[in-house]
Amino acid sequence: MQLGEPPLTALYQALATDGSGLDREQAALRLQRSRAGKGRSDSGLRKILAIMANQFRSPLVLLLVVAVVLSAFLGEVYDTFIIGCIILASGLLSFWQDYKAGKAVEKLQKLISQKSTVLRGNTQQVVDAQDVVPGDLVLLKAGDIIPADCRIIDSNELHVNESSLTGESFPVEKMSGQISRQTALSESFNCLWQGTNVISGTGKALVVRTGADTVFGKLRESLSETSETAFERGIRGFGYFLLQITTVLTLVILAVNIYFGKPLIDSVLFSLALAVGMAPELLPAIMTVAMSTAAARMMERKVIVKKLSSIFNLGEVTVLCTDKTGTITEGSVRVCDAVDGAGNSRQHLRLYAYLNAVMQQGFANPIDQALADLALGMDGYRRLNEVPYDFIRKRVTVLAEGQNGNLMISKGALECILEVCSRLEVDKGVYVPLDEAHRLSLLSQYQTYCEQGYRVLGIAVKQTPLDHITRADEDEMSFAGYLLLEDPLKPSSLASIQKLRALGVEVKIITGDNRFAAMHIAQKLGVAAGCVLTGPELDELSPEAFHQRAMGIAVYAEIEPHQKVRVVKALRQQGAVTAYIGDGINDVAAINAADAGISTHNAVDVAKQAADFVLMEKDLSVLADGIMEGRKSFVNSMKYIFITTGATFGNMFSVAGASLLLPFLPMLPKQILLTNFITDLPALAIASDQVDSQQTRRSGKWSMSLIRRFMVVFGLHSSFFDFLTFYILYFKLHLSGAAFRTGWFIESVVTELLILLVVRTRQPFLSSRPANPLLWLTVIALLVTILLPVSPVASQLGFTEISLKETSWIGGILIFYIVTADMLKVRFFRAGRKAGQR
């Protein structure tokens, strides 16, 4: 169905509706049919099966399954059953963690679903954007995301950002009308496209296509909604690095075993089991659990996480950019006074400001809400139309019909009001020419009010015979006076900024307010008020010069939307990890440009969509908590990475050596997989482990060089004790076969469990208590390991009971291991801190 070419009457007929919209029953029926067509009823089951299948997609696991099946055909049915059960149990553990984390994310996403205003049953109704159906009439205003492909019925100065589809950065004006069938998408002035957003103005549109049938829906598969984060890139690189090492060492071990004449199938199974056992298959699950746990804790602090991986970015933040309204200040604007050019309080100016606020139909904002609360009444006045606010004109003008004719009332930034004024109202109905002397006097008075902490707007009026106005009619107006507003500083703001500074996060104020008001707030907060840069001054700086100064500026005032992006990008180029808080259309580009984009629950839809986090309360103190949660998630994920790399290199090196020195396999394939399964149990609790305060004082940084160093140092340390165990078990105690494997199995599992307790803290491990789940799961895993050789299934698993003498030797090795590992850890991370690594 063409959107722009047929008459509206033809679209009404095709969609079985009329100009009044659908009734509730029609909308419900169409929504039900749409969902049935998309097969939503079984989407939950498909999602569960997809998560389950994902646990077994690793090439190493698939190779092991093939090898196990092959061994079953060769008669090793019992061993095949045991190995299969261990593989399945490991997969189910990972599945359960992924499934729980996914459900937590879905729950959070529902709290911030996009909303749309529709006409149903001749009344306005706010619904989820995904519940909009063809035939609906949607009402649009500045900040709304367009929920479907639509045909415009009516509009007023409607400008839409279509850059997501056309690449054109300038807003496009939209209006009703017809176009030819050959008109390009970018020139279809009477159509609106899903996923684009309203910059200014208002409109009413007919929904024609939704979901996958829209232009955006057809392009969705080729579009990437969010870019890969730095931590995700690091994890991907780490995965490739570990896979390369594992593959090379596995092939070497396989070749050595075959060369020394050990059974082919046993050698293949042994090598593949070793590869699977060493692969960090739990890393995705542990990361997801760490992030979802942090997201749940952040939700308790009224912060909604939209993208889990962004939690790590938040933990790395070193510079927070914020507007002052609502974050540093209360955000509940109070009308203090309305005064004329001479500073006299005037009641009729209050009425002008009130009428402008209640008659404008653009996006809601605290200033207009405060003016509307004056409740002065509209007796004798009737709204005719308006010229909506936009970020170029920085004013909104309404046209009201009154007893003395039609009156234009304009309200906005003082400079933008003065530029359309040619007269000055010195008393009600009394005007003088607005000459240069008067302008300088008005600007001087404006500066005085700003320095006193007021937010100041200008008011202008004009009598006109027109019953419809446009931007061109905003001229030859009369300056009526100032509107003095107050937005008090939050009591918690100073403490919040100090808390952020203690975390190593610098706060920079970026505001559209004038320099005097910004400096007034900065002084109260103890921010370096002298380090102020205004928008006009910024435009005069070359990119190179600004990049050199960006970090030294504490307050950016009189900033335009495009300049906010420039500030964020300059800070990032100077090495800062940035977070940006914004709630308006003018903040969207900066939110996208920042490492961590943050919006608020009452922000415009497009700002919430662009953000990684949504604050249910606009307060800096919750951000400090969020940064702390991000750092905890990073630290807990790194614990598993350190343990995995150390164990991988150490065990691979040890097994390679054992294959050369011993005439038998040092461990059976099922025992290797069992080792992996047992040590994975406590690892699942790492995500909720306690974190030492010293590890969250500064942001964590992904460092492959640190990981490699850890792998070599602790891998060799682990291998030393493995070879010591080999020597004692084989050469001193003369054990072989099941007895040798039992001894090494106990040593191998217990050392991996103990190193988890050692590495989880940078302090001596006895001075830092792990979280209860981690502690108890470790204790359970230790008991299982010790009891397996004397259990009823010992012989089936290839174990045998060992003597007290053998147990004492292994116990001594373990004590020596944990003492030396703890000493080595303290020295290793102390050296890393001196080298500037985390």
pLDDT tens-digit profile of 387-418?
988 777 889 999 999 988 999 999 999 999 99
Q: Mean pLDDT lowest for which of 45-49, 276-280, 343-347, 405-409? A: 276-280
Confidence tier at 3 by pLDDT (50, 70, 90): confident
Please give the residue that has the higher pLDDT: either 167 or 380. 380
Does residue 508 surpass a pLDDT of 80?
yes
185: tokens are: 């998408």
373: tokens are: 């609360």
C-alpha–C-alpha distance, residues 740 and 742, integer Å: 5
Mean pLDDT, range 274-303, rounded to an integer: 70
Cα-based distances in Å from 672 to 92, 250, 256, 399: 18, 13, 18, 80
Neighbours of 236 (CB within 10 A): 11
Mean pLDDT, range 672-696, rounded to an integer: 81
Please give the residue that has the higher pLDDT: either 827 or 513. 827
Tens-place pLDDT, residues 241-257:
767 777 777 787 778 77
Question: Where exactly does CATH 1.20.1110.10 map onto the chain?
Answer: 231-295+628-834
Terminal Cα distance for the chain, rounded: 58
The bridge status of strand 506-510 relative to strand 555-557 is parallel
Nearest to 564 by CA among 600, 607, 604, 617: 607
Does residue 226 surpass a pLDDT of 50?
no
C-alpha–C-alpha distance, residues 406 and 385, integer Å: 11
Q: Give the pLDDT of residue 352.
A: 95
Does residue 63 surpass a pLDDT of 60?
no
Instruction: Identify the active-site residue in 98, 136, 323, 689.
Output: 323
Please give the residue that has the higher pLDDT: either 543 or 584. 543
Q: Give the pLDDT of residue 432.
A: 94
Q: Mean pLDDT lowest for which of 216-225, 435-444, 748-757? A: 216-225
Q: Give the pLDDT of residue 294.
A: 77
Tens-place pLDDT, residues 332-369:
788 999 999 999 999 999 999 999 999 988 766 788 88
- Asked whether the beta carbons of 581 and 321 are under 8 A apart, the reply is yes
Nearest to 636 by CA among 283, 193, 147, 214: 283
The burial class, CB within 10 Å (0-12 / 13-18 / 19+), for 486 is middle
- CB under 8 Å to 49, separation ≥6 — which residues? none
CA 338 to centroid of chain Cα atoms? 42
What's the CATH fold of domain 303-330+490-616? Answer: Rossmann fold (3.40.50)
277: tokens are: 């056992």
Mean pLDDT, range 104-111, rounded to an integer: 56
Q: Give the pLDDT of residue 69.
A: 65
Q: Give the pLDDT of residue 333.
A: 85
Share of residues in the chain with pLDDT > 70 (%): 83
pTM tops 0.85, yes or no: no
Does residue 196 surpass a pLDDT of 60?
yes
Which residue is it, tokens 């559209």? Answer: 512
Does residue 453 surpass a pLDDT of 50?
yes
Q: Mean pLDDT lowest for which of 297-306, 404-413, 643-652? A: 643-652
- Asked whether the beta carbons of 418 and 479 are under 8 A apart, the reply is yes
Does residue 419 surpass a pLDDT of 90?
yes
Q: Give the pLDDT of residue 42.
A: 46
Confidence tier at 283 by pLDDT (50, 70, 90): low
Q: Give the pLDDT of residue 41.
A: 43
Share of residues in the chain with pLDDT > 90 (%): 24
Q: Give the pLDDT of residue 225.
A: 44
C-alpha–C-alpha distance, residues 455 and 328, integer Å: 14
- Asked whether the beta carbons of 462 and 417 are under 8 A apart, the reply is no
Q: Give the pLDDT of residue 361.
A: 80
Helix (H, G, I), strand (E, B) or coil at 458: strand
Q: Give the pLDDT of residue 222.
A: 43
CATH number of 231-295+628-834: 1.20.1110.10
CATH number of 334-486: 3.40.1110.10
Please give the residue that has the higher pLDDT: either 374 or 112. 374
What sign results for the dihedral spanned by CA atoms 472, 475, 480, 482? positive
Tens-place pLDDT, residues 486-496:
888 888 888 88
C-alpha–C-alpha distance, residues 254 and 681, integer Å: 28
Confidence tier at 729 by pLDDT (50, 70, 90): very high
Which residue is it, tokens 């598969």? Answer: 221
Q: Mean pLDDT lowest for which of 207-216, 340-349, 478-487, 519-528? A: 519-528
Mean pLDDT of the chain: 82
C-alpha–C-alpha distance, residues 780 and 539, integer Å: 64
- CB under 8 Å to 807, separation ≥6 — which residues? none
C-alpha–C-alpha distance, residues 139 and 143, integer Å: 12
Helix (H, G, I), strand (E, B) or coil at 747: helix
Q: Is 323 a catalytic residue?
A: yes
Q: Give the pLDDT of residue 94.
A: 61
Does residue 111 surpass a pLDDT of 60?
no
Helix (H, G, I), strand (E, B) or coil at 399: strand
Q: Could you give the dihedral angle defined by the CA atoms of residues 765, 770, 776 and 779, in that order, rounded to the nearest 10 degrees?
A: -10
C-alpha–C-alpha distance, residues 684 and 688, integer Å: 9
Q: Give the pLDDT of residue 322.
A: 87
480: tokens are: 């009526």
Mean pLDDT, range 509-533, rounded to an integer: 80
Mean pLDDT, range 762-772, rounded to an integer: 87
Q: Which residues are bridge partners to 401 per DSSP?
A: 382, 406
What sign results for the dihedral spanned by CA atoms 672, 674, 680, 682? negative
Does residue 456 surpass a pLDDT of 90?
yes
Q: Mean pLDDT lowest for which of 81-85, 467-471, 653-657, 714-718? A: 81-85
Q: What angle do CA 543, 546, 549 make, to 5 degrees?
A: 155
Nearest to 400 by CA among 348, 458, 466: 466
Mean pLDDT, range 120-136, rounded to an integer: 87
Confidence tier at 31 by pLDDT (50, 70, 90): confident
C-alpha–C-alpha distance, residues 735 and 345, integer Å: 99
Confidence tier at 433 by pLDDT (50, 70, 90): very high
Which residue is it, tokens 């019925």? Answer: 153
Confidence tier at 627 by pLDDT (50, 70, 90): confident
Helix (H, G, I), strand (E, B) or coil at 821: helix
Please tell us whether the domain made up of 8-22+133-222 is placed in CATH 2.70.150.10. yes
C-alpha–C-alpha distance, residues 101 and 286, integer Å: 10
Neighbours of 209 (CB within 10 A): 19
Please give the residue that has the higher pLDDT: either 457 or 593. 457
